[in-house]
Structures are given as structure tokens and as C-alpha cells.
Structure 1
């Protein structure tokens, strides 16, 4: 029996790297990609492709490389993404192209490239959305919109291409990666901002990349075979609570 073939975009660090490591630990054959050179600490068993997912030709090449190396792709995880802290008025055309190119077009490009093979033999797609696609974060207009696109695309793929293909999304909250640390660093008082954010988590902690990797691997597995078209929030309870604070009552 052949091993699952998994493509993870943006697997050089953070959540993407945790997802790569999780599938590798499960015995899968894994290819990942990024715009830079191969990370020195990436496991030798992982195939690396230098690619920009915003380019349709690069997306096709990623899938072709995986097929040539391992065989038909059975799992696609669209993790590659960038964040931008700007309002609509502050956002330039170049900002739009950067964020929507990677977060939205990149997800679309990989899904389109992998679907023909999955429709022949079945497969699972897991897209990385965000709670920012459900609840708008201040001064992150295009990022919020890009993640809402990911959620909508996820549902459309599930409807249009089931039952051969299952497609779901994971919507992380505050996961402690370099991107999250950079966001806190931009606050007027980073320590206070971090403490306030932590206090709003019923789970009592921020998330770790491994928390998302576990959810992604589960959704891609047969254990979730009756789940498709869903967006799973993994945020330690952040978005489930009322914005009203107890001290006012």
C-alpha cells in the first residue's frame, strides 16, 4: 500500500513547519515549498521546491514535482500566507497584490492544480483560514478579506468536487509564531497588549503551531471522512466569549 503524498505550502517555519513535521512523523511522503531557498534544518526526507504560489505556473510545478517524486498527491495543505497591518485607505496596489496574491490566489492556484489528480483517485484539501476571516481585526482590511476568500473557496470546492474530494479549512487564532510576535511588537505597549490578549483566552494560553498541525492532520485523515466544507476555529476559545468584560457587571 502506497504512503500518502502530502503537499504543504509555506512549510519553512512556524505553522507550516509544524504541519510538515506532523505528516512526516505519520510516515507520509511530504513536499513543501516557499519563496526562499531550502531551510538548512528541514528534514532530508522532505522534498523542497522554491516557488511563489501566487504564480499559476509555479503552483502547477509544485504539484508536478510531487507527482514525479512520490506519485499522485492525496493531501494538499494551503498554509502559505502573509499578513499586512493597514486600513483600506492606507493599502497600496502593491500591498493588495502581495497579500491577495499569496493568501487568495495562491490557495486557488494550488487547489486548481491538484484537483484533476484528486478527482481521479480521491483526496483531501485543508486550507489555512483565520479568525480574521470571521471577525475583522482592526487595520488589517486586505488580510481579513483574503482569509474570508479562503473560507468561501473551501466551501465551494467541497460542494463542487465531492465526494471524491473533501475540502475543509482551519482558522487559527493567536498562534505564537514570528508573525504573531511581530503583531504584538507593533502595539503602543507590547507587554500590555500581549497580557490583554492572553486574558481573553478561556484556554489560558496562546496557541502553538503544533495545535494547528494536529487539527490539520486529523481533518486530512480517514477519521474525518464525513467532514467537508467546514471551517474549524482553533483559537483557545478567544472568539466564543462576549466582548463585554466581567468587571462591568
Structure 2
């Protein structure tokens, strides 16, 4: 991949898909700004980088001012920015009638408004270098899923944002999204569900996936990196690519 010596900002880089994306970028010789709430987890991700390839930047992207600070940190450390991966996400499952309003707001802040603020802050360097944005969405944005209505709505909004900005920002900036199916990440420990509910949910997800297994973070990361690569995907923008084991087929 033609990612060597390029600079990318990855949110949610402390675990799961974000960590896998960062590691693949390191392997391609890229520089990566690692953004997430937990500094210790980001430092663990950075251990896969060679000297000078990683910048650890703890931040909560749900806070509007965090976006401009993260982009500024990238510019000050590496002098530019070639791509942005909006991977950080938040899921809270359960009936709408039982939902905590603060959880509903938090999902919109992290899953939609965080990417909006980051893309807006990153526009000058991305336009200067012909950069790329990859949003990590979800099949939840295209499937009707009871007890996950607001989560799905936030991802559907991210999908719409992706397609609209692909036209708005062309031809200088490409904007695409990957839509993972069920991926085995620490997210399942933080859904707001009891352990037995999580176990049933995981079983149901595998049963409804034609390939019969959970995806891995690496399954998703390889597609994210491909979309970032101007040689592999230089004529791709506005795409919503399901990487889901056939779940949306």
C-alpha cells in the first residue's frame, strides 16, 4: 500500500478496530496520531510503532473542542495530515422506553457529532494533500434492529454524512465508510446489558451471519487501510462498504 510516510489520525485507537487499524498503518510505514480516552491503552497501541511513528493524544471526541486540538497536535508533530479514521463509537442497547436520555445523547455525540467536528477541523490539511476520510459505521445503520434504534439511527446518520460529504468535498478529499457486522471487540462489555443478555445477543449475531462467526478487528482494519490508500482506492468516494460476513445480504 502507498501509505509509507503518510500521517493519519485514528480515533478509538486504544482497542479493537482502532488498534488494528493503527497497527496495520504502522506496518505500512505510516505515522499515526492515536486518539482515545484512555492514555494507557493508547500507549499499548503505540508499542507496535517504530520510533517517531506514533503520537499518543488522549481526548474525548464527544467534546467539540477536542477535534481542533487533536488535528493541531497532528500538524505540530508531523507537519501535515493525509487521512482521518473516525472509528470511536458508543453503543447502548435496550428498549427505547427504558433508555437513559444521557445515553441517547452520548451515542449521537460520539457516533455522529464527533466525526463531524473532526472532519471539519481536518479539512485544511486534508484538502492540501488530497486526503481521505474513512468512517467506521455499522450494519446497524442499514438494518432494522429492535432495542438498538438510536444506535442504528446514529450510524445511519453517519452513512448519510459520508455520502453527502463525498460529493461536497470532492475532488480534493475522498470520504468513505466501512460497515462492520458483529466484530469481537471490548464493546460488548459496555452495552449496558446484563452478562446473560450479552451472551444471547452474541449467539443471535452469529446465527444471523452467513459466514457463521464474529469478525475480527483485522478483518475491518484491512478495508479501512485500503480505502485510505490513494493507489488502491483513489477513484472510490461515497462508498458504504459492508464487511459483515454476509449479514446484510
Asked if the contact 1:54/1:109 (under 8 Å) is kept, the reply is no
Matched positions, count? 240
Map of 2:154 onto structure 1? 146
Asked if the contact 1:174/1:180 (under 8 Å) is kept, the reply is no
- For structure 1, the residue ranges without an aligned partner over 5 or more in a row are 241-249
Q: Which has the larger radius of gyration?
A: 1
Q: Compute the displacement of 1:2 (Å).
A: 7.5
Q: Compute the displacement of 1:200 (Å).
A: 2.8
What SS is found at the alignment partner of 1:218?
helix
Distance 2:56 2:81 in 1: 15
- Is the alpha carbon distance of 1:65 and 1:191 closer, same or farther for their aligned partners in structure 2, counting shifts above 3 Å? closer
Q: Compute the displacement of 1:189 (Å).
A: 6.6
What SS is found at the alignment partner of 1:7?
strand
- Is the alpha carbon distance of 1:193 and 1:66 closer, same or farther for their aligned partners in structure 2, counting shifts above 3 Å? closer
Distance 2:34 2:213 in 1: 29
* 1:31-84: CA deviation from partner (whole Å, max 9, x where unpaired): 111122232423244211111112221100101101111121101000011101
Map of 1:84 onto structure 2? 92
Specify which of 205, 228, 233 is matched with residue 237 of structure 2.
228
Is 1:61 the counterpart of 2:63? The answer is no
- For structure 2, the residue ranges without an aligned partner over 5 or more in a row are 48-52
Distance 1:231 1:2 in 2: 25
Is 1:238 the counterpart of 2:240? The answer is no
The TM-score normalised by the length of structure 2 is: 0.89
Distance 1:194 1:100 in 2: 24
Distance 1:202 1:132 in 2: 16
Distance 1:190 1:175 in 2: 13
Asked if the contact 2:89/2:107 (under 8 Å) is kept, the reply is yes
The TM-score normalised by the length of structure 1 is: 0.89
